[in-house]
Amino acid sequence: MSQDNPAISPEIDRELTRLATKRQVEGRVPGLLSAVARDGKLLWSKGIGAAELSQPDVAPGVDTHFQVASNTKTFTAVMVMQLRDEGRLTLDDTVDQHISETTHPQVTIRQLLAHTTGMQREPVGDVWDTLDFPDREGLVDGWNQAERIMRPHTHWHYSNLGYSILGEIIARLDGREWGDSLQARLLDPLGLARTGLKPTGQVSGTYFVPPFTDVPVEEPRLGKGATAPAGGIWSTASDMAAWHGFLAAPDSQVLSPDTIEEMCQPQIVADTTGWTLGWGLGLEIARVNGRTWVGHTGGLPGAITGMFTERASATTGLSFMNATNAPDPRAVAVDAADYVREHAPAPLTTWSPGTSQPAELVPLIGRWYSEGTGFTFVIKEGHLEARIDGLPAVRPSSVFERVADDVYRTVAGREKGELLQVRRHSDGSVRQLNWATYRFTREPLTFGDTVPQH
Band (4; pLDDT cuts 50, 70, 90): low
Backbone angles phi, psi at 45, to 5 degrees: -155, 155
* Chain length of the chain: 454
CA neighbours within 13 Å on the CB side: how many for 229?
Answer: 32
The per-residue pLDDT for range 314-359, each reduced to its tens digit, is 999 999 999 999 999 999 999 999 999 999 998 888 999 999 899 9
Q: Quote the CA–CA distance of 226 and 166 in Å, as a whole number.
A: 11
pLDDT of residue 393: 87
Band (192; pLDDT cuts 50, 70, 90): very high
Burial 112-126 (b: 16+ CB within 10 A, else e): bbbbbbbbbebbbee
Q: Quote the CA–CA distance of 85 and 79 in Å, as a whole number.
A: 10
Residues 388-407, mean pLDDT to the nearest whole number: 95
What mean pLDDT is reported for the chain? 95
Residues 236-247, mean pLDDT to the nearest whole number: 98
**Helices 10-27 and 329-343 meet at what angle, rounded to 10?**
170
pLDDT of residue 2: 45
Nearest CA-CA partner of 167 in 191, 143, 132, 131:
143
| Percent of the chain with pLDDT strictly greater than 90 | 93
Q: Is pLDDT of 3 > 60?
A: no
Residues 120-126, mean pLDDT to the nearest whole number: 94
| Percent of the chain with pLDDT strictly greater than 70 | 98
What are the distances in angstroms from CA 317 to CA 16, 368, 383, 404? 11, 42, 35, 45
CA 288, 290, 291, 293 dihedral sign is positive
The per-residue pLDDT for range 64-119, each reduced to its tens digit, is 999 999 999 999 999 999 999 999 999 999 999 999 999 999 999 999 999 999 99
Q: Quote the CA–CA distance of 389 and 225 in Å, as a whole number.
A: 55
Domain annotation for the chain: domains and CATH numbers: 2-211+226-343 (3.40.710.10), 359-440 (2.40.128.50)
**Helices 72-85 and 237-248 meet at what angle, rounded to 10?**
40
